[in-house]
Structure 1
Amino acid sequence: MGWDALSLVDAADDRPLIERRAVVRGGFYEMQARTVIERVAEAAGVAQGWGVSPYRGCVHACLGCGARAGHRRLGLEAGRDFDERIVVRPNAVARLRAELERWGGQELAVGVGGDCYQVAEERYRLMPGVIGALAEVGVPFTVYTKSALVLRDAALLAGAGARVAVSIAFVDERIRRAVEPGAPTAQARLELVSALVEAGVECRVRMAPVLPLLSDAADQLSATVRRIASAGARGVEAVVLRLPPGTREWYVGWLGRAHPQLVARYEELYDRAGLPSPVYEGRITGQIAQLCRVYGMGCGVPEVGRGEPRAAQLALV
């Protein structure tokens, strides 16, 4: 069946996209990707403009994850469905190899649609193929993860010259349990940073997302930067919470239940696109930059490869 015919079939079927195209296997939703190199939304808060995500959705269930809206385009909700209905792209490696043949060569982000080393990776093992494909053509890339499973591929990542960015926004376990209920503890992630550095993998830490009025106090920021430095990270990239559509409703709904007195202040801090006030963001990132200098670490967005991509932004899946 040609693509034109397939489009006609899809148009006549009003079921959600996930129900039309997915095969449910072992609790995961398998969907064949039409393209895997895709635009990264500004709300993701990452340096790279294009990325690869073998998985969509994430069991870490972080309330402030900027990728939540992607589930809506599959006919799923951006809240609990994102946390529990994980979409796997079994052909991700094959598609990536094909698309890299016409790629411009600039750096890619890996794992921004869902942690690429979450539980699904234990079963599907897509990442060794992704790393191999990128290494073969010499495309620089950064892997975004919170999971210690990345250590399985440490030798591959080091050999490919890849960068790993581990998210550690705060070290207060009470906050972590509330807003990142499925994620590893901050201590586990600090130990992961040390292990990656020891394995020869370039490792940065994303202090992301810093939560306004919850994890942005001076003593909280200082404690987090100090422990990141002790773990051996090369640098820190600070990102204040973004609240794009999909994420905003889920996070603010929780905020209204857990901290109703803060909702009005959040409404003042965020614009309609879900971006924080530049004045507030500049103050927080400035404080973190100063702390990084005290502890001898680099701070800020790492340099990424430039150039216009030759791959088009294509399908949603």
Structure 2
Amino acid sequence: MSLPFDLPPANPSERLRARGAAARPVGRFEPYARAPEHDGWDIAEEERLIRTEVSVERPRSAITRNQSPDVPFERSLNPYRGCEHGCIYCFARPSHGYLGLSAGLDFETRLIAKPEAPQVLEEELRKKNYRPDVLAIGTNTDPYQPIERKLEIMRRLLDVLWTYRHPVAIVTRGSTILRDLDILAPMAEAGLVQVGISVTTLDAGLARDLEPRAPSPPTRIRMIRELSRAGIPVRVMAAPMIPGLTDHELEAILTEARRAGAKAASMMPVRLPHEVAPLFADWMERHHPGKAEKVLGRIRDMRGGRLNDPRFGARMKGEGEMAELLQQRFKLSCKRLGLARALPDLDCTQFHVPPRPGDQLELF
């Protein structure tokens, strides 16, 4: 296999439960690597269960701006760094390298939370030169990952956005979003929110290995149903599609999502940037050794002979016959199911800055 670098061996003293990665490959910015080494003593080390650790960060700004031609948004917000869902294919894993942490186990066990993000966001919205535009949340790591149930950062962010009548587009696979229907429903009625739900597979066993701490496929279909019943526009995201592993489920995923009430759909073939490539290859060898070469070969066929093609215009779609066939299947299914449309544009005209106690009120 042609991979960016070899993975270190798993630490035998670490016991893993529901984790996607099995090792901590060094980040691409680090000058040194660490690997467990037997010290020669025949003394069995006690295994310890690897638990999730959460650190706190105070962001200097809440809103991140980007100019990528591959994404439909200009500004985004992420309340967490790292993601406990542990999806092995996650393209956000390399972002942990900027913190000096591993894209492997560190990404899913050493999380960074931003509990002050709602206050920082509010200060940004109150600036005189601020102009509203759709704010995308969940474009890097999931805002409704398991620790959100306790920390409620996302809920407080929604409180701020609803108070200011600011439009927001949310991407998630976390069922905690249903907790916030009391905020999301009135926002949807005002044309201020839309939600994308990621469904990678309908196979519960495969999902348990592929996305070990994410909600099950039936739960995600239920999320689409309950959000839709509350009047919230939902887009099903059949992403990523992994050739030779999940791509045969594309039509079934779209069909189930449409039955549940999804109004639109999107699809993206898997991409494996930087450290994600060896992590995914290792996962294939551990869980589907007989399919590893086939799946990795098909990914290369769709990525110009590599496991990732970073070029703008190609990285989200892939290229070649297999990528084109996947796109054709997606388009035909969307047309047949009535999903070949965009969700309604969100309304930026309602944005206003509410007065604080003691502020001078306007006369007109």
TM-score by length of 1: 0.79
In structure 1, C-alpha distance between the alignment counterparts of 2:347 and 2:161, rounded to whole Å: 14
Count of residue pairs the alignment pairs up: 279
1:99-138 deviations in Å (ceiling 9; x for gaps): 2334432212112232111121112111222112223333
Deviation of 1:228 after TM superposition, in Å, equals 1.0
1:66-113 deviations in Å (ceiling 9; x for gaps): 211211111111111111111101111111112233443221211223
Deviation of 1:302 after TM superposition, in Å, equals 7.4
In structure 1, C-alpha distance between the alignment counterparts of 2:335 and 2:166, rounded to whole Å: 31
Q: Which of the numbers 135, 144, 148 marks the counterpart of 1:108?
A: 135
**Which consecutive unaligned segments of at least 5 residues does structure 1 have?**
1-13, 15-25, 307-317
Residue 340 of structure 2 is aligned to residue 278 of structure 1: no
- For 1:1-317, what aligned pairs fall within 5 Å after superposition? 27-39=53-65, 47-100=72-125, 101=127, 102-160=129-187, 161-217=192-248, 220-257=249-286, 258=288, 259-262=291-294, 263-271=296-304, 273-274=309-310, 275=315, 277-279=318-320, 280-299=322-341
C-alpha spacing 1:273/1:49, structure 2 compared with 1 (3 Å): farther
In structure 2, C-alpha distance between the alignment counterparts of 1:265 and 1:194, rounded to whole Å: 33
C-alpha spacing 1:268/1:226, structure 2 compared with 1 (3 Å): closer
In structure 2, C-alpha distance between the alignment counterparts of 1:252 and 1:303, rounded to whole Å: 39
Deviation of 1:39 after TM superposition, in Å, equals 3.9
Deviation of 1:46 after TM superposition, in Å, equals 5.0
In structure 1, C-alpha distance between the alignment counterparts of 2:89 and 2:101, rounded to whole Å: 18
In structure 2, C-alpha distance between the alignment counterparts of 1:301 and 1:71, rounded to whole Å: 32
3-state SS of 1:227 partner: helix
Alpha-carbon RMSD across the aligned residues, in angstroms, is 2.6
- Counterpart of 1:23 in structure 2 is none
1:177-235 deviations in Å (ceiling 9; x for gaps): 23111111111100111011112222111111111221112xx2221111111111111
In structure 2, C-alpha distance between the alignment counterparts of 1:70 and 1:41, rounded to whole Å: 18
Give the stretch that moved more between structures: 291-300 or 148-157: 291-300
TM-score by length of 2: 0.69
Higher relative contact order (CA 8 A, sep 6+): 1
3-state SS of 1:205 partner: strand
3-state SS of 1:119 partner: coil
Give the stretch that moved more between structures: 274-283 or 30-39: 274-283
C-alpha spacing 1:251/1:46, structure 2 compared with 1 (3 Å): farther
Whichever structure has more helix as a proportion of its residues is: 1
In structure 2, C-alpha distance between the alignment counterparts of 1:74 and 1:294, rounded to whole Å: 45
Is the 1:237–1:300 contact (alpha carbons within 8 Å) kept by the matching residues of 2? no
C-alpha spacing 1:208/1:304, structure 2 compared with 1 (3 Å): farther
Give the stretch that moved more between structures: 76-85 or 268-277: 268-277
Deviation of 1:156 after TM superposition, in Å, equals 0.8
Report sequence identity in percent.
Answer: 28
Deviation of 1:28 after TM superposition, in Å, equals 1.0
Is the 2:94–2:103 contact (alpha carbons within 8 Å) kept by the matching residues of 1? yes
3-state SS of 1:181 partner: coil
C-alpha spacing 1:267/1:289, structure 2 compared with 1 (3 Å): closer
3-state SS of 1:245 partner: coil
In structure 2, C-alpha distance between the alignment counterparts of 1:86 and 1:114, rounded to whole Å: 10
In structure 2, C-alpha distance between the alignment counterparts of 1:130 and 1:175, rounded to whole Å: 33
Is the 2:238–2:250 contact (alpha carbons within 8 Å) kept by the matching residues of 1? no
Q: Amino acid of the residue matched to residue 297 of structure 1?
A: L
Is the 1:238–1:300 contact (alpha carbons within 8 Å) kept by the matching residues of 2? no
Q: Which has the larger radius of gyration?
A: 2
Is the 2:235–2:343 contact (alpha carbons within 8 Å) kept by the matching residues of 1? no
Give the stretch that moved more between structures: 269-278 or 241-250: 269-278
**Which consecutive unaligned segments of at least 5 residues does structure 2 have?**
1-29, 31-51, 349-364
- Counterpart of 2:48 in structure 1 is none
